[in-house]
Structure 1
Amino acid sequence: MASSQTILVLLRMFLVVQVTFAQTGIDIKNLYDELFNKRSYNKNTSPHSNLSEAITITVEFSLQGINYLDEMEEKLATTANIKLEWKDAFLSWDKRYFKNISYLYVPQDEVWKPDISLQNGFTKLRELGDQVILVTVQHKGEIEWNPLEVFETKCDIDITKFPFDSQICKLVFRMWTYKQEDVRFKLKKGPVHTDAYERNGIWGLSSSNITQERGTIVISLSLDRKSEYYILTIICPIILLSLLNIFTFVIPVDSGEKIGYSMTVHLAFAVLLTIISSSLPVNSQTTSYLAVYVISLLIKGTAIVMVTVIQVRLHHRPNNIDLSPIYRCIVKICHRKCTCSGRRVQPKTDNIRNSISSLNENFDISMHSSSNVTVLIIKNHSESPRLQLDAESDNDEDGNNIYTWTNVSAALDYFFFCFFAVVDIILAVLFFKALL
């Protein structure tokens, strides 16, 4: 009994060793010679087992990464591999007669391949893959071809919402020679494979889809631009400079720095525009809201410089030149506004001090002290010169003294500060509303 089991174990070991060492390079060479020489395989012959049936090409797409998206040339470069599977009736064998060899690696140029190519490619039309790529041939004639490519495709770019824009780019594959009656596509179940996808620093892949349309394979990629960099380097400096621009009207004209400040901010804005222009995508089909916003701010800055120059000119006009009704109206409105805003409630101590000072002005107060009694003598003045001067000044202010060119300049400061602040807010709200 023990001897029979020993013999059985040795026999199994012999069979395993025989099978292990059966598949050698010579056997593979013999199989290769059988398929391609003895059978006179011709890669230019369509591998139909039945001419009445079309060859089915199973397609599977795997995206490796987004290389770049050129907005100026409208070109998308992606790295991906497209997996194609079909059955070749002339490349099948019985593995029992070839030492149980079930598959074989063959260079792609030695077998029949579908003439599939990129329809919307950016470069010259050429076949997929390369000479170094091998195809896998199964013993039942099933062939698997998995070429890795850098696809450069055309992509219609819409930069209207830059830098918060999204782009939809497509890769379209089709047969150039074979008709659908001879060769047809079939999609594997499942979306585009992104297991090995490497993220891009500028574009994020939000979604991907693969469909079959009229004998073509269409891979759609939805890309979202990562806007953090553009917010920090473009939008924030623009908004800050636009705020500095309106503070031109806070600087007094007599300081002599009003025109210099406005010109400095305006030139800084122009230099920033030069830097921004290199980041803005160039496209004549669509116009970016950001470009329109920047041009609007530039026009606003130019208007501020012009208004400032005119304001300085008005400030230095002689007072013997009468004011027009428009200037009088502006000064009057500003004077009333400043008068209303200047009324404040003073503390009690200030009220007491003001009362004492008024008493000193209106009455003669003297103190006579004796050993036990202190006598306070108050003499009333019938007419106070201070009150008369105040009354006269009030009458003058109500008259023509407020209508001077200096007051016109101050009123224009107040008016244009409010006006351009409102314009700045409206432009910013419209810009962000259009983007979001």
Structure 2
Amino acid sequence: MDQDLSHAQLRVLLDDTQASLAASFARIEAYRLQNKQLRDELASLRNQVHGDAQSSKTVATSISPSQSSLTFPQQKNILSGASSSHHPIEIVDGPSGRKIPGSIFIGKDFIDFVETKAHVGQKDFVGITSVKTPLLQQGQEDEASTSGRGANGGGGRWQVMWNQDRVTQRLMFEASGATRQTLHRLTERWLGVEDPEEVQASGSNGAEDIVPPKSLIIGDLTLQLASSGEPSQILNRDHLKAVASAVPPMQRFLTWQLSYSTVRHGISLSTLYRRCGGHTPTLLVVRDTAGYVFGCYSEDGWKSAPRFYGTGETFVFQLEPHRVMYPWRSISQVKNDFFQYATLDCLAVGGLGHFAIHLDCELLQGSSSTCGTFGSPCLSSKEEFRISVVEVWQATS
């Protein structure tokens, strides 16, 4: 027994050593590439400086060193126009939760995870979202949120998703707040939301990428809920009339049955998938602890799958405090068919930057942010929210 235990301990030690060596070699390679990039930039800067000096030797000799920055305004542009930047991160192994030191290169149209050799290009990018850290307790999470940690504050755990060979890939990592802000600016740029300085320089305000919401009108039509089923813990009469104005005309005259509710069926994604499958028009409705009500309509039910699925009829909406909807942005510069995504780890709607709706496996935590698939803003009370109730309604003949 002692011999077996010793062998197991040795195996764990060997695995950790190999992982550390691999990470070290990868970081060395990353620093080598970074140094090469800096040398190339320095050479370009020297060529620029010497070229200007040759063309204006008389002016250059009459200016003091303290004024040299005024002589060569291109210097700032060359340094600020670097094609990529290096950032340290910690890659999180999903099953074990073990963290491995790593690094990423962030370029203009790509993100490279050096250690895993994962390349996330702009055209393949699906989305990025925060992930609840299991080690944080309730009080720590509240303190982190109030002190500014999270999407725009300190460090945190994140998950990036992209398509590779028609299969959605995922990678979880921990990064500082500065790295997260850099990634946020990059993905916003991919969505057409440029930095103010870049907008001013280009003369474009990106208005064509801003999608105004469509108001949901409370009319005479309403969705008919099954009289024999459980009453909704979220939807009231005005909500049903508002959603009825947005769903396809044929679905307004069907009866809607409650397929899943966290109040009645417990908090489990597996139960949700088991009860809400099939090719049936579906309403996913969420209320967070601040009272915001939002959700999505889809032509398909919910099922665990390795890639995105769904149709262009999918749209997201908010019922409280405002009654608005955001349909699919069918005209897009990049591939934009990220409608429904469901695994045993999460449920998500939309992509291209952030998810319009993202729910964790326990249906306790969620997130919502600017989503390129629908051009929608944050639908919940804040980007990271706590779930109060989740309901899934499906149409029956």
- What TM-score does the superposition give when structure 1 sets the normalisation length? 0.20
Name the larger-Rg structure.
Answer: 1
The structure where strand makes up a greater share of residues is 2
The structure where helix makes up a greater share of residues is 1
